[in-house]
């Protein structure tokens, strides 16, 4: 087989010590001719390979990354390569949303005795990377700023939710406090003005009167559950917590239950039918510059906000969060106490607007898009802190020095890598609540990265959606010996 001609490219290869590394050795001993572009990293098992290693290499400018482990059923740790296969396949489908050609990454299986196969794999992969040419560099990309088209058709009528049975809910919560079977209930209260809410922690009947319900209830209260009743808390002193949920919030609660991060017996879910919540960035755009909100009043479809004496009627259908147009779960699922019925849903959810915008772009445009967006990131970690599924918090690898996964450099590359870390850690777990994007002070549409992974997970695992069934096993925590939707690609 001829050695490839031309300039060497940078290809990183992660090889399992027990099989593929031996296979490369066998090829070497047999003096099989091979391209010299590969930089080999030996790992104990393909199951040891975190997809973030691959992303690190690609974001840092590797032209290609190859992973090779033991053949299925031959893993020396019995199932490491089965777990790896699912993760690596999700990663392969994630790369294009970043603007990285997925052909630059491949995984395969080579045993220690297959020197000839190793020679073929490495030659074919190197050949493929040479045909693709050097990988585009973030430093060289032209920043592209584009916003998603939010003119969407909701799956059911959106409204201001003012007919919700809030009084009945308040009475029910008060009854729990009288019976002393709940320590705290999380909900929303008015913030500094009527057009904003903040989380409310009700600990007494007086607190319950502060509870509000409407399109300004944008936060996801499930974010606080891990701090109150998570695994890190003293388990013998766990509180009994109630949570008032919108439908989307309830998926986060269910996912926390699914992952056994909170005990079911310590949480009581209260539900009211949600009619949509405002995208506050769009509301602020409608209001323009203002000093003070004077008053807010509601009708069925809109909120009338008087700011600095000027009246603005803002319809929820025009300024809802992207997720609300696609919402097929207006009432919290697995609720212990529900007040009201969920409206009928017409049709099935469309592609989320942020993802639809990226779908229309070429790989180069997506790469430029993320360059432009990450240039604006101030690395405040609000996206992570608002995420109900980001439960590591103080031990987050974005800040730890051991292992030193990421530097504190204020560069596009490091900021994009941080977003990749967040997205990959949410693979098969993100419930699409959009808190990351909502909390972002500069409005970067980072939810699109999580949406792409959720789409890949649904394609690969029979439409799996996280946070729907407390008994379901998250797909990336398991494997099948014969995967239905993951087929071996020959190299
Ligand atoms: Fe080789 Fe697990 S030991 S893939």
Tens digit of pLDDT for each residue in 92-149?
Answer: 999 999 999 999 999 999 999 999 999 999 999 999 999 999 999 999 999 999 999 8
State residue 164's pLDDT score.
Answer: 95
- The Cα–Cα gap between 116 and 120 comes to 6
Mean pLDDT on 428-452: 96
Task: Give the angle 461-421-358 at the CA atoms, nearest 5°.
Answer: 65
Q: Is the pLDDT of residue 420 over 70?
A: yes
* Distance (Å) from CA 29 to ligand 1 centroid: 22
User: What is the atom index within ligand 1 of the atom nearest the CA of 80?
Assistant: 2
State residue 400's pLDDT score.
Answer: 82
Q: Is the pLDDT of residue 1 over 90?
A: no
State residue 2's pLDDT score.
Answer: 45
Pocket test for ligand 1, best of 16, 23, 79 (most atoms within 8 A of CB): 16
- Kind and range of the H or E run holding 425: helix 412-425
Q: What is the mean pLDDT of the chain?
A: 94
State residue 5's pLDDT score.
Answer: 56
Which of these, 166, 388, 431, lies nearest to 275 by C-alpha position? 166
**Residue 418: pLDDT band by 50, 70, 90 thresholds?**
very high
Which of these, 395, 393, 419, 366, lies nearest to 146 by C-alpha position? 366
* Distance (Å) from CA 114 to ligand 1 centroid: 15
Q: Are 285 and 312 in contact (CB under 8 A)?
A: no
- The Cα–Cα gap between 362 and 144 comes to 12
User: What is the atom index within ligand 1 of the atom nearest the CA of 76?
Assistant: 3
- The Cα–Cα gap between 332 and 271 comes to 5
User: What is the atom index within ligand 1 of the atom nearest the CA of 47?
Assistant: 2
Q: Is the pLDDT of residue 198 over 80?
A: yes
* Distance (Å) from CA 228 to ligand 1 centroid: 39
Pocket test for ligand 1, best of 77, 78, 79, 108 (most atoms within 8 A of CB): 77
Which of these, 412, 386, 408, 390, lies nearest to 399 by C-alpha position? 408
400-408: long-range contacts at Cβ-Cβ below 8 A with a sequence spacing of 24 or more?
Answer: 405/52, 405/56, 408/379
Residue 284: how many CB atoms within 10 A of its CB?
Answer: 14
* Distance (Å) from CA 11 to ligand 1 centroid: 21
Which of these, 240, 117, 106, 107, lies nearest to 185 by C-alpha position? 240
* Distance (Å) from CA 478 to ligand 1 centroid: 16
- Of all residues in the chain, the percent with pLDDT exceeding 70 is 99
State residue 19's pLDDT score.
Answer: 96
Pocket of ligand 1 (CB under 6 A): 16, 18-19, 45-47, 69-70, 75-77, 80-81
Rounded to 10°, the helix 447-460/80-98 angle is 130
Sheet with strand 293-298: strands edge to edge: 293-298, 302-307, 310-315
Write out the two tokens for 151: 């003119």
- The Cα–Cα gap between 477 and 255 comes to 13
**Residue 232: pLDDT band by 50, 70, 90 thresholds?**
confident
Question: Peptide bond before 403: cis, by omega within 30 degrees of 0?
Answer: yes
Across 232-382, the runs of DSSP E, i.e. the strands, are 241-245, 267-271, 293-298, 302-307, 310-315, 337-338
Task: Encode burial over 348-373: b for 16+ CB neighbours within 10 A, e otherwise.
Answer: eeeebbbbbbbeebebebbbbbbbbb
* Distance (Å) from CA 65 to ligand 1 centroid: 18
Q: Are 434 and 159 in contact (CB under 8 A)?
A: no
Pocket test for ligand 1, best of 75, 79, 109, 111 (most atoms within 8 A of CB): 75
List domains and CATH numbers for the chain: 11-135 (3.40.50), 166-338 (no CATH), 353-472 (no CATH)
Write out the two tokens for 287: 């209001």
Q: Residue 340: which residues within 8 A CB-CB, separation 6 or more? A: 164, 165, 271, 272, 273, 331
* Distance (Å) from CA 80 to ligand 1 centroid: 6
Q: Residue 161: which residues within 8 A CB-CB, separation 6 or more? A: 213, 214, 215, 272, 273, 274, 275, 276
Mean pLDDT on 447-456: 97
State residue 402's pLDDT score.
Answer: 80
Q: Residue 237: which residues within 8 A CB-CB, separation 6 or more? A: none
State residue 6's pLDDT score.
Answer: 61
């Amino acid at each position: 087989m001829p050695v490839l001609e031309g300039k060497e490219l940078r290809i990183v290869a992660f090889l399992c010590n027990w099989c593929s590394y031996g296979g490369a050795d066998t090829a070497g001993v047999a003096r099989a001719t091979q391209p010299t572009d590969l930089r080999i990293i030996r790992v104990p098992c393909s199951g040891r390979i975190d997809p973030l290693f691959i992303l690190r290499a690609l974001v840092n400018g590797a032209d290609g990354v190859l992973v090779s482990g033991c053949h299925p059923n031959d893993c020396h740790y019995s199932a490491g390569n089965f777990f790896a296969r699912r993760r690596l396949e999700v990663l392969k489908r994630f790369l294009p949303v970043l603007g990285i050609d997925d052909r630059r990454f491949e995984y395969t299986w080579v045993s220690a005795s297959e020197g000839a196969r190793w020679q073929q794999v490495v030659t074919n992969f190197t050949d493929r990377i040479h045909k693709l040419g050097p990988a585009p560099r973030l430093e060289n990309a032209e920043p592209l700023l584009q916003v998603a088209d939010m003119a969407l058709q909701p799956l059911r009528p959106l409204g201001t939710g003012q007919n919700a049975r809030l009084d009945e809910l308040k009475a029910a919560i008060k009854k729990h406090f009288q019976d002393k079977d709940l320590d705290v209930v999380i909900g929303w209260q008015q913030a500094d003005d009527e057009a904003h809410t903040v989380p409310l922690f009700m600990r007494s009947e007086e607190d319950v009167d502060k509870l509000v319900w409407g399109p300004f209830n944008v936060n996801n209260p499930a974010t606080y559950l891990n701090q109150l009743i998570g695994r890190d808390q003293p388990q013998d002193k766990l509180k009994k917590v109630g949570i008032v949920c919108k439908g989307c919030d309830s998926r986060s609660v269910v996912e926390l239950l699914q992952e056994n991060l909170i005990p079911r017996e310590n949480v009581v879910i209260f539900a009211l039918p949600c009619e949509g919540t405002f995208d506050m960035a769009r509301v602020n755009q409608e209001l323009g510059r203002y000093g003070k909100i004077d008053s807010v009043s509601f009708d069925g479809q809109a909120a009338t906000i008087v700011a600095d004496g000027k009246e603005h009627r803002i319809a929820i259908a025009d300024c809802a969060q992207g997720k609300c147009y696609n919402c097929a779960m207006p009432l919290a699922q697995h609720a212990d106490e529900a007040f009201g019925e969920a409206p009928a849903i017409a049709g099935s959810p469309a592609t989320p607007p942020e993802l639809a915008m990226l779908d229309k772009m070429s790989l180069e445009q997506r790469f430029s898009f993320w360059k432009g967006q990450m240039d604006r990131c101030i690395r405040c970690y609000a996206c992570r802190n608002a995420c109900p599924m980001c439960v590591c918090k103080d031990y987050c690898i974005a800040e730890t020095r051991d292992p030193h996964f990421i530097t504190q450099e204020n560069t596009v590359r490091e900021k994009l890598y941080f977003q990749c870390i967040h997205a990959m850690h949410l693979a098969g777990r993100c419930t699409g609540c959009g808190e990351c994007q909502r909390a972002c002070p500069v409005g970067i549409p980072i939810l699109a990265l999580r949406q792409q992974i959720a789409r890949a997970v649904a394609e690969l695992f029979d439409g799996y959606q996280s946070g729907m069934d407390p008994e379901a096993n998250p797909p990336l925590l398991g494997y099948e010996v014969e995967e239905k939707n993951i087929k071996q690609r020959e190299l």
